[in-house]
Amino acid sequence: MSFHSSLPFAALAATLLSTSSFGALIAGDVAIVGFQASGVTTDSVSFVTFVDLAPGTVLYFTDNGWTGTAFRGVSSTDGDGNENLMRFTVVNTIVAGTIIGSRTSSADYVWALSGLVGPGTSAYAQLSLSSTGEQVTILESTNPSNPIFSDFTALYNFDNTSAYEAATSSATGSLAPGLVQGTSAVLLTSPANSALFNLNTLASGTQAEWLAAIGNAANWTTGTGTADAGSGFIVVAPAPGALALLGCAGLVGSRRRRSAR
């Protein structure tokens, strides 16, 4: 009796289904799906990941607006700028479809909401959000000592001011480089205390389908709610091309197993 390992096919399947190779993230690999600005003790955002996040992955969240050349107030000596900065670190693998709120806790991740960012006296803190106009950007950076000053990749932006403009105040901001409204950014038509994406918009969908749905302001509910932006899960389906490739890989694997008998 001959034993033939199917590990290569299993590895390929896992890669195709998650669309992640545990490398650097790109715009649209995560998205903001919840916003709460009811006060200092409950201000929060929630985000969803469309790829598996590997242990050690670090994301940054800032409510500093983009001026066109930098995040407002951020400099070589000021790491958190004119507003705030949060750091999120993955401890254990987080699977695609997971929704995480900035006031939730888990053994799988850690939120840094205190401690020095790096330069000067800048410190991590929960975002202090405004119900009269706000923007939040998620980033990844290879500059841990001053992450949103340089060497960063913008991943997603939430804006509820109905327009983009160069940041000159806490209520203004444009899109950081690489972000596109509707696919890696959502622009809501009016500010509100609470803004939540309707998770029932799709029963399941590919990353592109979910991003299009989240990027459509019509799929959001805004109001005066005071509950924290919470956590949850959505079903992220593989893209059609990945399914086709997966089927071909399965056929090859099947033929190899038969030939090994």
Give the pLDDT band (50/70/90) at residue 226: confident
pLDDT single digits (tens) 76-90? 999 999 999 999 999
How many CB atoms lie under 10 A from the CB of residue 210?
A: 25
- What residue has token string 């001011």? 161
213: its two tokens: 């749905």
Q: Which of 1-15, 35-49, 157-171, 196-210 has the lowest mean pLDDT?
A: 1-15
Give the pLDDT band (50/70/90) at residue 259: low
Give the pLDDT band (50/70/90) at residue 248: low
Domain residue spans of the chain: 1-19+238-261, 24-237
Can you give the pTM of this predicted structure?
A: 0.86
Give the pLDDT band (50/70/90) at residue 18: very low
| Better pLDDT: 161 or 240 | 161
Rounded to an integer, the average pLDDT of 87-114 is 97
| Cβ within 8 Å of residue 218, ≥6 positions away | none
3-state secondary structure of 100: strand
Structure confidence at residue 15 (pLDDT) = 41
Structure confidence at residue 126 (pLDDT) = 93
pLDDT beyond 70 at 3: no
> In this structure, are strands 58-62 and 85-90 parallel, antiparallel, or unpaired?
antiparallel
Rounded to an integer, the average pLDDT of 195-209 is 97
